Amino acid sequence: EDKVVQSPLSLVVHEGDTVTLNCSYEVTNFRSLLWYKQEKKAPTFLFMLTSSGIEKKSGRLSSILDKKELFSILNITATQTGDSAVYLCAVELGNTGKLIFGQGTTLQVKP
Amino acid sequence: KAGVTQTPRYLIKTRGQQVTLSCSPISGHRSVSWYQQTPGQGLQFLFEYFSETQRNKGNFPGRFSGRQFSNSRSEMNVSTLELGDSALYLCASRHGTDSYEQYFGPGTRLTVT
């Protein structure tokens, strides 16, 4: 059965801390891995990764994929209260358009 | 560019009724996927449409159906509503079937009483 597992499920940090969110997967036909941020509304696209070892960066956020070990990490440096959200990891199966989502990691950043 | 839009945003229905949800993709995007999000099951894939054809379907009963129009707008229909159908229904669009990034709309919150 295809599955995506995220850890930790929840995390509380203080502003300025650095956090690392984990996503591991076991799927039959991997095409890409996507990260989203969800704040009580639609998931907002963050990153898409297809190749191992290539880091994607956007401001304080970065992500990398390891296709050999079947996982990805999302790093957030110098966290801010606005980073509080649920972070979702999803894997697309083949070229099907079907995304398998992890449970999400709920991040709370305290002032 | 305007994002993905969904209507209505909120809906309350009674068990046994049917409901139709609408999704307009980002301009130029021709692929639309639908997802159901619940606290217990998370986000689950319903189906994907491209060029008015259903390409793939998730593990949902036949009460869940959809269609896509020539302008790429899509509708999702749920018949004989059950309490367990209460959820946030999200649609996502991408440019084409070769595209990787999927962009989500704000969702329709369906409550079945």
Quick: pLDDT tens for A67-83.
Answer: 899 999 999 999 999 99
Name residues of chain A where pLDDT drops below 50. none
Instruction: Give the residue among B47, B35, B100 at the shortest CA–CA distance from A34.
Output: B100
Model confidence over B62-91: pLDDT tens digits? 999 999 999 999 999 999 999 999 999 999
Model confidence over B16-63: pLDDT tens digits? 999 999 999 999 999 999 999 999 999 999 999 999 999 999 999 999
Determine the distance in angstroms separating the CA of B4 from the nearest CA of chain A, rounded to an integer: 10
- Selected residue of A5, A99, A103, A105 to mutate for chain B interface (largest B Cβ count, 10 A): A99
B43 close to A (CB below 8 A): yes
Determine the distance in angstroms separating the CA of B50 from the nearest CA of chain A, rounded to an integer: 10
Pairing of strands A85-93, A105-110: antiparallel
Share of chain A above pLDDT 90, in %: 86
pLDDT at A96: 84
Instruction: Say which residue, B111 or A51, is predicted with more confidence.
Output: B111
Q: Using the CB atoms, write b or e for B77-100: b if 16+ within 10 Å.
A: ebeebeeebebbbbbbbbbeeebe
